Amino acid sequence: MSQLSFASIPGFFDLADVAIAAGQPLTDDSISKISHNAKFGVVRAEQFYMGFYRNGDVVPTPVSPVDGYAYSRGEVLFFLIHASTLSPAAGFVPGQALFPATAPNAGAGSILASPWQMFIEGSSSAGTPGKITVWNYYSTSGAVAEGTVAVYALAQRLSVGG
């Protein structure tokens, strides 16, 4: 028989008072009940390569290849990596894995060192959740809404077991 002194830890387990007599030594049966009723939480993180997107495309939320869990936008942090100041040529599919060929360009907007700004919209009612916005500021006509980015996602969720 196990001889452990009972210590109350709020929120660690939830057993009826009859299962454990406070202040009394724990028995094997009591320890087994605590073990089976204890709840443990683990944060699971997964990284995804979402592909290439252009200005105005909407990035979907990822789905775990491990168990098919569909993440919500609140569980995902998106990372945008600037790829080109130009929008891709015809035939581009949002989210494609390979670098998109850019449209023909006669101006200076083709260089990667140009000033740019990019962001992905959240779930506000004013915008479209997941919409990519890329502004290219190095253009003879001023700021233009074009550009291509590679998108990665870091998704986290709490996995609770018992």
Structural domain count of the chain: 2
Q: How large is the C-alpha radius of gyration of the chain?
A: 26
69 shares its domain with 124:
yes
- Going by their DSSP bridges, the two strands 25-26 and 76-84 should be labelled as unpaired
> In the chain, at which residue ranges do the beta strands (DSSP E only) sit?
4-5, 25-26, 40-54, 76-84, 116-120, 132-136, 148-161
31 shares its domain with 52:
no
Q: How confident is the model at residue 60 (pLDDT cuts 50, 70, 90)?
A: very high
33 shares its domain with 63:
no
- Percent share of the chain, pLDDT over 70: 57
21 shares its domain with 62:
no
34 shares its domain with 60:
no
64 shares its domain with 9:
no
Q: How confident is the model at residue 158 (pLDDT cuts 50, 70, 90)?
A: confident
- pLDDT tens-digit series, residues 77-93: 999 888 887 788 888 99
17 shares its domain with 90:
no
- pLDDT tens-digit series, residues 25-48: 667 776 776 666 666 666 788 999
23 shares its domain with 48:
no
105 shares its domain with 138:
yes
143 shares its domain with 77:
yes
11 shares its domain with 55:
no
Domain carrying residue 148: 42-161
- Percent share of the chain, pLDDT over 90: 19
Phi first, then psi: what are they for 47, rounded to 5°? -110, 140
